[in-house]
Amino acid sequence: MSTSSQVNRQQDNYTATAMSRKASVQRSNNNKQASEGNPPLLLPLFSETFGTEIVQITVGDDEFKRIFTVHKNLLTSKSRFFSAMFDSNFLEAMTSTASFPEDDPSAFEVLMEWIYYDSLKSIGLNSRHTQEEGRENMRKIITTLGLGDKYCIDELADRCLTILYYRSRDYVSCRLDLDMIGLIYAATGPISTARKYAISELAEAVSTTSVPARARSISGITTALGISETCKQNRDILDDLFKAITATRQPSGRDIGVCQFHLHPKAAVCPYAGMDEELAVPQNSVYYPKAAVYPYAGLDGELAGPSQNKMYCGCGRSRSRCNYRQAKTGTHCLAPSRRRWKLAGRN
């Protein structure tokens, strides 16, 4: 083979190698730019999301004390109160511990559920609840709302207030009476929007109709003596009630919704709309395929008859609320008393 042919072949090899290297460098640069411009496909590691630092929070007095172990990064990202406490030079930040003997451990457990899971299922209410269970559920909602107010967690406070608002209207056992209003004032601070909601309900009951008549229908407020006793326990209630009655009020009977009492920035649609149905599924519930005819119709002879208060459906909700849910979901209320009304030709 001639010397010129060998030289040409070597030049071709050098050219091919150089072009291959250039293409490889170009692909590397393209991949680097793509990785910088687009987020990674893999989710961040657990330690990157929650952090590795742990804090211990003791809640409750000596008799009912509980210790909660929480990821510091997650806790401080959700609460301005805890961020100021643990991201500072306070003693709590140095020891990674804090104590709140005045708080309710059961409500703090709900707070932990919301922080870790963004859920409030633990304050759900069984549709077959008793009077005592309904009132205990309201107490738990109010104390959890108080923690949201105390720890500067606006979203938690708004969501609890939304559940409180609708549940007090849907169930007889959850009516917002004087005891509940007193509990709201005890659990929240002077500028809490929950107080504004509670006092607006009380002012509506006092100023629009006679107190005893109002008690039999909506609010559970019994007598003027009961109102005066409640005001004695907390002077703020009397002051706020006087301001609410003397201030310019909306036309009687106009309900503009719970969003007016929320802390979130005002928008055309409330971000927590539809979050009022945190119902727990009964453990002994019977599940059956959906059918045109209720398969257990006529087998409810041992169940209680229709509610004596015709404002409420047998499922525990108000009649208007129950009708709204049926129209919205396209389903029928399965409460036995409701079916008797249907069969009897009554609304």
One digit per residue, the tens of pLDDT, for the chain of length 347 reads 555 555 456 556 655 665 666 556 566 565 555 555 555 555 566 666 777 899 999 999 988 899 999 999 999 999 999 999 999 899 999 999 999 999 999 999 999 999 999 899 999 888 888 999 999 999 999 999 999 999 999 999 999 999 999 998 888 888 888 889 999 999 999 889 899 998 888 888 777 654 444 444 444 455 666 777 777 778 788 888 888 887 755 554 445 577 766 767 766 567 666 555 444 433 333 333 444 444 434 433 333 333 344 455 666 666 666 776 676 676 777 665 444 334 334 44
Two structure tokens written together for 8:
């040409």
Instruction: Determine whether 34 is exposed, middle or buried from the number of CB atoms within 10 Å of its CB (0-12, 13-18, 19+).
Output: exposed
Q: Report pLDDT for 231.
A: 76
Phi, psi of 265 (to 5 degrees): -60, 140
Contact criterion met (CB below 8 Å) for 174 and 138: yes
- What is the number of residues in the chain? 347
Place of tokens 């005001």: 231
pTM of the model: 0.60
CA–CA separation, 18 and 53 (whole Å): 52
pLDDT at 106: 95
3-state SS of the chain is CCHHHHHHHHHHHHHHHHHHHHHHHHHHHHHHHHHHHCCCCCCCCHHHHHCCCEEEEEECCCCCCEEEEEEHHHHHHHCHHHHHHHCCCCHHHHHCEEEECCCCHHHHHHHHHHHHHCCCHHHCCCCCCCHHHHHHHHHHHHHHHHHHHHCCCHHHHHHHHHHHHHHHHHCHHHCCCHHHHHHHHHHCCCCCHHHHHHHHHHHHHHHHCCHHHHHHHCCCCCCHHHHHHHHHHCHHHHHHHHHHHHCCCCCCCCCCCHHHHCCCCCCCCCCCCCCCCCCCCCCCCCCCCCCCCCCCCCCCCCCCCCCCCCCECCCCCEHHHHHHHHHHHCCCCCCHHHHHHHHCCCC
